[in-house]
Amino acid sequence: MSSDAIICRCEDVLLSDIRRLLDSGLTTFDEVKKFSRCGMGPCQGRTCRSLVLAEIARHRGIRVQDLEPGRFRPPGKSIPISAFLEGGEEQ
Amino acid sequence: MTRADVIIVGGGIMGCSIAYHLARRGMRRVVVLERSHIASGATGRCGAGVRMQWGTKPNCLVMKESIRILEGLEQELSYPHGIGFKQKGYLFLAHSKAQLIQFQKNVQLQNSLGIPSEIVSPKDMKRIAPLLDTTGVVGGSYCSKDGHCDPFHTTRAYALAATRLGATLLQYTELQSVTKSAEGTFKLTTSAGEIEAPVLVNAAGAWSGYVASMLGVNLPVYSERHQILVTEQVERVLDPMIISLHEGLYCQQTPDGSFIMGLGDPNEPKGLDQGHSWQFLFAVSKKISRLLPDITGVRILRQWSGLYNMSPDRQAVLGAVDDVPGLYVACGFSGHGFMMAPAVSESMADIILGNTPRVAIDVYGLDRFKNGNLFYEPAVV
Ligand SMILES: Cc1cc2nc3c(=O)[nH]c(=O)nc-3n(C[C@H](O)[C@H](O)[C@H](O)COP(=O)(O)OP(=O)(O)OC[C@H]3O[C@@H](n4cnc5c(N)ncnc54)[C@H](O)[C@@H]3O)c2cc1C
């Protein structure tokens, strides 16, 4: 993949941005996410997570399946604020 | 056994900024222990608002200095990415006459200390935040110099500057136990081996009470979960951070367009739970739809929580632990430690080195719990 390939379309993160962060010592998906915003956009990392994990694995010389996949934050699929205006009282 | 001159436990905003100031003052072997990665604790989970509008003089002075430092921090720390510091103001809503009187007192205090805050009418508030529904709001206070800053990059800027000055950052390294030898050296066992130093700084956030207990010290702090959410990015429509102490609610739109909002829950039990609940989504949505009815179509992207480390007077706990020479603590931030760090870390470094700090922080000392000099902060969410 060319280093100006876009890894995260939601947040405009390039492969070269990811590589620069890994070169500076970051080692996990969660760190890459927090310091590049990769995976923080509307799709919540659906496309970029596997690409970033593959890049981390390559950088660290280990297998993807041996990496922490990174945290998944709810609600997973985005929901409008208006969906929470009725109900929700304690049972 | 590795030897250091000072070991700082915790790689949040406090630990990293204290490390920077110690290294900058020429301390040689500065080591930061972080059991996960930097900013993985409260720092990376926080609302990251910074404001000078406080109800006690020490907090006003500290935050005023913090904001002054933040204005030039990218340059000071040579951090080209930037720390995302934006000054779009903080708007406090008063829902009752009594609350407005408290705000008037706060503003009087703030103005006397050179803080450019003001009392605003509901009409002024509509001008500052046109989307705000002021029904039931009798007035408020506003300071245009307050704002927001990226917590990950601010922490990283301090951490990288500290390491450039020779400090060592040990991430994924957990402090497991510590003892003090007869000669006064702290001997630490970590997940990555043993390390010792004559000076130990407890900047372990929500876990500071536990770390102190390893040395038999009982800190008067406890931890408490606070939930928060972020929405998708939309067009910029809201400049200031909106705070309703009455609702326990805060909401702001970050420069990239997402709304961040959080809620204090008076029934939250003490503890170290960092989970999240669907009840929070309902509670915060209902409250925000009354204050900002036009944003209810915006979609919620993520929710999470972090821990406040609370003290009895909701004021930070800073300085030396008298019973254990060489031990220092910076904790108990009660939900506003991110904005205290720029000023307070410098003062902590000076106290550790025996210098007189530029910004006095002795009122935050542990001795206040012995001699009863608590000073309750009213302006806390
Ligand atoms: C939801 C929420 C919103 C907030 N909003 C704001 C706001 O708008 N403005 C503001 O100023 N403040 C805010 N705060 C408060 C702010 O986040 C904290 O006061 C501040 O980040 C504290 O920084 P710290 O470095 O002391 O703690 P932390 O960031 O928690 O750092 C402590 C570190 O110590 C590490 N650690 C703990 N035990 C060990 C061990 N045994 N060995 C090694 N490492 C260890 C942890 O992993 C952690 O990274 C908010 C907090 C929350 C939870």
- The yes-or-no verdict on residue B59 having pLDDT over 50 is yes
CB burial of B137-161 (b: ≥16 within 10 Å; e: otherwise) equals: bbbbbbbbbbbbbbbbbbbbbbbbb
Q: How confident is the model at residue A25 (pLDDT cuts 50, 70, 90)?
A: very high
DSSP assignment letter at B270: B
Whether this prediction's pTM lies above 0.95 is answered by: yes
pLDDT score of B345 = 98
Q: How confident is the model at residue A90 (pLDDT cuts 50, 70, 90)?
A: low
B200-213 tens-digit pLDDT: 999 999 999 999 99
Distance CA B50, CA B131 (A): 22
B237-246 tens-digit pLDDT: 999 999 999 9
Distance CA B366, CA B332 (A): 11
Query: Domains plus CATH for chain A?
Result: 6-83 (1.10.10)
- The yes-or-no verdict on residue B330 having pLDDT over 80 is yes
Identify which of A31, A79, A83 has the shortest CB distance to residue B37.
A31
B176, B190 in Cβ contact below 8 A?
yes
Structure-token match 């450019």, residue found:
B116
Contact: A42, B232; criterion CB under 8 Å: yes
CA of A68 to the centre of ligand 1 (A): 23
CB contact A80 to B (< 8 Å) = yes
B273-290 tens-digit pLDDT: 999 999 999 999 999 999
B229, B285 in Cβ contact below 8 A?
no
CB contact A79 to B (< 8 Å) = yes
Distance CA B130, CA B144 (A): 16
Rounded to 5 degrees, what are φ and ψ at B353? -90, 0
Query: Domains plus CATH for chain B?
Result: 2-47+151-221+313-371 (3.50.50.60), 87-145+222-308 (3.30.9.10)
Closest C-alpha among B103, B102, B79, B109 to residue B90:
B103
B361, two tokens: 């922080």
B302, B314 in Cβ contact below 8 A?
no
CA of A75 to the centre of ligand 1 (A): 24
- DSSP string over B24-44: HTT-S-EEEE-SSSTT-SHHH
- The yes-or-no verdict on residue A1 having pLDDT over 80 is no
Closest C-alpha among B298, B266, B278 to residue A88:
B278
- Rounded mean pLDDT of B33-62? 97
Cα B341 vs. chain centroid, distance in angstroms? 7
Collect all residues with Cβ–Cβ distance below 8 Å to B325 and sequence separation of at least 6. Answer: B184
Contact: A73, B279; criterion CB under 8 Å: no
Identify which of A28, A75, A84 has the shortest CB distance to residue B37.
A28
B138-159 tens-digit pLDDT: 999 999 999 999 999 999 999 9
Interface confidence, given as ipTM, is 0.91
pLDDT score of A91 = 41
Contact: B279, A88; criterion CB under 8 Å: yes
Is the beta carbon of B41 within 6 A of some atom in ligand 1? yes
- Rounded mean pLDDT of A13-21? 96
Q: How many helices (H) and strands (E) does chain A have?
A: 3, 3
Query: Percentage of chain B with pLDDT > 70?
Result: 100
Collect all residues with Cβ–Cβ distance below 8 Å to A46 and sequence separation of at least 6. Answer: none
CA of B203 to the centre of ligand 1 (A): 9
